[in-house]
Amino acid sequence: GCMMNGKLYPFGRIERTEDCYTCSCSERSLQCCSLFRTPVAYDNKKCKVVFNKERCDYDVVQKDDPSKMCSQFARV
């Protein structure tokens, strides 16, 4: 298998690691891509970025009320 961040994964396709990556594990290599996109171009005075590990994505929420999402932002 392949070792990533102290955890052993089996050979083959790994749909989702604990750290929110999808990987391909072979005897020669471990290749991974993130399942999340990073927020950019949001109002950082009113909003903050919080990682949602359940969804493997970032939420952009209002600083004064984190239960409310910020409406306008872009991701890369």
CATH number of the 39-75 domain: 2.20.25.590
Spatial distance between the Cα atoms of 31 and 53, rounded to a whole number of angstroms: 21
Its sign, for the CA torsion 60, 58, 65, 44, is negative
User: pLDDT of 15-54, one tens digit each?
Assistant: 999 899 999 999 999 999 999 988 888 888 999 999 999 9
Q: Is the pTM of this model over 0.75?
A: no
Pairing between β-strand 12-14 and β-strand 21-25 as defined by DSSP bridges: antiparallel
| Domain chopping of the chain, boundaries | 2-34, 39-75
Token pair in block for residue 43: 């109002």
